Amino acid sequence: MGFKNSVIWLYFSSPRNFYPFAGKLIPWFGWLAAVLMIIGLYIGFFVAPPVLSDQKEYYVIIFIHVPAAWMSMFIYIIMSLYAFIALVWNIKMSEMMATALAPTGAMFTFLALWTGALWGRPSWGAYWVWDARLTSELILLFLYIGFMSLQSAIDDPRRAARASGLLAVVGAINVPIIYFSVRWWNTLHQGFSVQPAQTQQLMDPSIKWGMLILALAFWMYTIAVVLYRVRTIILERERQTTWVQELVSSKS
């Protein structure tokens, strides 16, 4: 089984083999994202009760804010893993995947910060406070921007990938800081949104399931968008190869 998995890994580490495979997967993950998004939003707006009686008008932000925050951290972990693989084993496909993940990770980080600000105004009386979790999440956005800026600033794609990959790997230390900041420091931000041992006491089950379904919808969306983006990156990086030239000529 290990040998078979290694063969599959080597096969799809080739941009030429990965390109058509990704094209077949995009519609499936796109439709899954749409269906799960509709289900999650329906639960959030029409099924789940308000957490507190004075939060009826704005508590629904939780269904976007929390999954977006989860995705901002999760995507960065995946991106840094791809970057690490590219740095150690010099695999071009891993470089491209890290590059494709960054814009979506930055989008979810911005979405988490923006919805957090909308939630913070009625909860804390201010759109922004220099809270430990908010500040570390803002640093995460800067890391995403730094990753993409490095790639844009260096002309050679391989050098750009190595420089940005190193930043991604080093910056991964910020992810556990975001996650555990509510335990390590005195913070205005609420604790963990979902705690398996205490979930029933903390929130209505429909709220938990609404957030989890929307988080899964965001993940399906991420896969679809990243696969679409990486196909574009493959065509750009491999444009001098025979197979890309034949592909382009067959479509023209």
In whole numbers, what is the pLDDT of the chain averaged over residues?
A: 87
Give the per-residue pLDDT at 198. Answer: 44
Dump pLDDT digits (tens) for 41-96.
Answer: 999 888 887 665 455 556 788 899 999 999 999 999 999 999 999 999 999 999 99
Average pLDDT over residues 99-115: 97
The verdict on residue 133 lying in a domain is yes
In this predicted structure, which of 9-18, 28-37, 102-111, 168-177 has the lowest mean pLDDT? 9-18
Which runs of consecutive H residues, i.e. helices, occur in 1-91? Answer: 2-12, 15-42, 62-89
The verdict on residue 9 lying in a domain is no
Dump pLDDT digits (tens) for 219-232.
Answer: 999 999 999 999 99
In this predicted structure, the answer to whether residue 122 has a pLDDT above a threshold of 80 is no
Q: Does residue 250 sit in helix, strand or coil?
A: helix
The verdict on residue 5 lying in a domain is no
The verdict on residue 216 lying in a domain is yes
Dump pLDDT digits (tens) for 168-203.
Answer: 999 999 999 988 876 765 555 555 455 544 444 456
The verdict on residue 19 lying in a domain is no
Domain count, the chain: 1
Residue range of the domain that includes 177: 26-48+55-194+204-251
- 10: burial class by Cβ within 10 Å (0-12, 13-18, 19+)? exposed
- 222: burial class by Cβ within 10 Å (0-12, 13-18, 19+)? buried
- 112: burial class by Cβ within 10 Å (0-12, 13-18, 19+)? buried
| Neighbour tally for 71: CB within 10 Å | 23
Which one has a higher pLDDT value, 126 or 106?
A: 106
The verdict on residue 141 lying in a domain is yes
The answer to whether residues 220 and 29 touch, using CB atoms and an 8 Å cutoff, is: yes
The verdict on residue 6 lying in a domain is no
The verdict on residue 219 lying in a domain is yes
